[in-house]
Amino acid sequence: MKRLTLIAVLLLAAGCSGNVKKSPADALRRDPYEFLAERLSASRDGAPGRKVAVLPFAYTDRRESDDGVVISERLLTRIIQEGRLEVVERSLLAKVMGELKLQNSGVMDAASIKSLGRVLGVDAVVTGTLTRQGDGSVEINARMIKAETAVVLTAAAATVPADWEASATQPAPLPAAAAPVQAQPAPQVVLPAAQPFPGAWRYRENFRVAEKSGAQLTDYPVLVKFDSAAAIRLGRMKSDCSDVRFANSDERSALSFWLEGGCGTPSARAWVKLPLLARGAVKNIYLYYGNPSAASASSGDDTFLFFDDFNDGDVDQDRWSSPAHGCRVAETGGRIEFTGCSSGNATTKTIMSASRRLTPPYMVEFDGLSDDGGSNGMRRDVTLRWDGTAVGGYGVPGNSMEVSFYDGTRHNYEPRSGISQAGRVEIKSISNGEIRASVFSQEAPLTPGVWRHYRISDDGANISAYWDDRLLASTASAWSGGSSLGISAREYPNGVRAYYDNLRVRPLAAAEPDVYPYGQSYAGGTKRVYTR
Ligand SMILES: [Ca+2]
Ligand SMILES: [Ca+2]
């Protein structure tokens, strides 16, 4: 009945509009989200530019699902594209809903809508309910509600295919050909064995991941920051974070992750690999903890395309080969050390080559340290798109792109054809050992003995270098050589040691997914105690 009423409202509105806009039938054949956005944006009440909040939609049968978040997110995007309404940013909405202790149920009483409207300063909120149809599609009933009075201003209905469901079900391990991605009637698949959660884990926090690049991402690590300080202080998490686990949107399937650091701080950093993040999807993932008998499951090898934490004291032959050796390389103290690579102004160069082939787009990240034993400093080179050959007395990569970071204390030192200065980055195109093009960027002199974080992104067209998350230099490159990755270091003039640690390579999307805590308690997300 209700649905019929809404459709009647819709048809009436269309019939009365009197202009030559497309009929609802035409609109429905177009894009259902666009159709809804157009209807809601065209609400009679209020002037253009009205500010609205789009709440997560929910199923009428109250089943637990990500679907409402995906749908409201898509609708929000279309409303923005429609350009007639101002929309509250999602993270602000989540924060305010958390502070007001409002359920994300999609159905809200008048008082809640009024208080939400006041706090957010919006004129109206968009809410909606979902009904799963027999063919697996989802019927959306959306309403625009005036915040001041909680009166429904307009309503519209549409049916959409559940085309995001691949992201909510099981990992699709490798090529799409082998993975049935037909829409299933329900995303809440109960999985058989080997699903450890919740089991002995007593606490969990809910995070959401929003796909932002417009492409389907597979085996994609995302950075999840969580408040380990509070959880440890309350005795809920082990002090070494070894009981930390992550689960996919089914709340059960374990996700590979690597704990980068920050255990014991309010901003612990974990990279969590999502088997599949559908285009435009917003999905739940869960952080579990509170299992005193759990041992660490953090694994960089399982999370990244290529990884080395240099922790076991041996340079791993299955990870690295050394096509050009000139100085000592050793794993020591949980990092890899380059030392004795030069004497006076003469430099030699060691290149370690990753055994795994890597093709853009990807992101290389590592931590770097230079000790303070030298009078000048250390140059650190990362070679990308390398054909694997080394030429010249110093083992220069034959054909490649190379990013060099200069860690040191002295300016205006020229050891070679290029200009080496403290605190510089250089991106070079190298052809048969000759530098063809070079981009420099100046940075303040570094403090030796301090670990810094380095990133190099290669999206296939541009190579960009970062220090401590700050972009320093970027250059377009037409070079499409090999797929080897090399690392090296050389000192000026002598006595300096250079270190790499936590080197990893991950796939790179055109835009990183957004990861944010989601729940009633904004600081730290929702903590659920499992009672058994
Ligand atoms: Ca090793
Ligand atoms: Ca290490």
Which range, of 19-23, 183-187, 305-309, 477-481, averages the lowest pLDDT?
Answer: 183-187
| Ligand number with the minimum distance to the CA of 335 | 2
Which token pair is 3?
Answer: 């649905």
Cβ-based neighbours of 333, under 8 Å, separated by 6 or more: none
| Ligand number with the minimum distance to the CA of 500 | 2
| Ligand number with the minimum distance to the CA of 331 | 1
pTM beyond cutoff 0.75: no
Percentage of the chain lying above the pLDDT 70 cut: 74
The predicted pLDDT at position 495 comes to: 63
Distance 244 CA to ligand 2 centre (A): 19
Q: Which residues pair with 492 in a beta bridge?
A: 377
Please check the confidence at residue 183 and state whether its pLDDT lies above 50: no
pLDDT in tens, 104-116: 555 678 888 888 8
The most confident of the ranges 4-18, 55-69, 225-239 is: 225-239
More confident residue, 104 or 411: 104
Which token pair is 170?
Answer: 């099981």
Burial class, 28, CB count within 10 angstroms (exposed 0-12 / middle 13-18 / buried 19+)? middle
Please compute, for residue 381, the number of CA atoms within 13 A of its CA located in the half-sphere on the CB side.
Answer: 25
Distance 312 CA to ligand 1 centre (A): 5
The answer to whether the CB of 151 falls within 8 A of the CB of 144 is no
Angle at alpha carbon of residue 12, lines to 47 and 79, rounded to 5°: 40
How far is it, in rounded angstroms, from Cα 409 to Cα 44?
A: 66
The predicted pLDDT at position 217 comes to: 93
Distance 461 CA to ligand 1 centre (A): 32
Distances (CA, A) of 69 to 119, 208, 240: 21, 9, 34
Distance 472 CA to ligand 1 centre (A): 30
Distance 492 CA to ligand 2 centre (A): 25
The answer to whether the CB of 446 falls within 8 A of the CB of 409 is yes
Distance 308 CA to ligand 1 centre (A): 7
The predicted pLDDT at position 292 comes to: 93
pLDDT in tens, 486-515: 998 876 655 677 899 999 999 999 999 999
Please check the confidence at residue 198 and state whether its pLDDT lies above 80: no
Distance 488 CA to ligand 1 centre (A): 16
- Pairing between β-strand 124-132 and β-strand 51-54 as defined by DSSP bridges: parallel
pLDDT in tens, 274-304: 998 888 888 889 899 999 999 999 999 999 9
> From the CB of residue 213, how many other CB atoms can be counted at a distance below 10 Å?
16
pLDDT in tens, 340-351: 665 444 455 778
105-133 mean pLDDT: 84
- DSSP class of 411: S
Please check the confidence at residue 373 and state whether its pLDDT lies above 60: no
Distance 352 CA to ligand 1 centre (A): 13
| Ligand number with the minimum distance to the CA of 503 | 2
* Residue 488 identity (one-letter amino acid): S
How far is it, in rounded angstroms, from Cα 40 to Cα 470?
A: 41
430-451 mean pLDDT: 80
Distance 486 CA to ligand 1 centre (A): 16
What domains can you pick out in the chain, each with its CATH number? 2-160 (3.40.50.10610), 196-301+512-532 (2.60.40), 307-496 (2.60.120.560)
| Ligand number with the minimum distance to the CA of 330 | 1
The predicted pLDDT at position 14 comes to: 41
| Ligand number with the minimum distance to the CA of 309 | 2
How far is it, in rounded angstroms, from Cα 400 to Cα 427?
A: 11
Distances (CA, A) of 200 to 293, 336, 529: 9, 37, 11
Size of the chain in residues: 532
Distance 309 CA to ligand 2 centre (A): 4
- R_g (Cα) of the chain, nearest Å: 27
Distances (CA, A) of 213 to 217, 277, 279, 486: 9, 11, 8, 29
Instruction: Tell me how far the alpha carbon of residue 222 is from its chain's centroid.
Output: 4
- Pairing between β-strand 514-517 and β-strand 203-210 as defined by DSSP bridges: antiparallel
Which token pair is 318?
Answer: 């299955």
The answer to whether the CB of 500 falls within 8 A of the CB of 365 is no
How far is it, in rounded angstroms, from Cα 532 to Cα 526?
A: 19
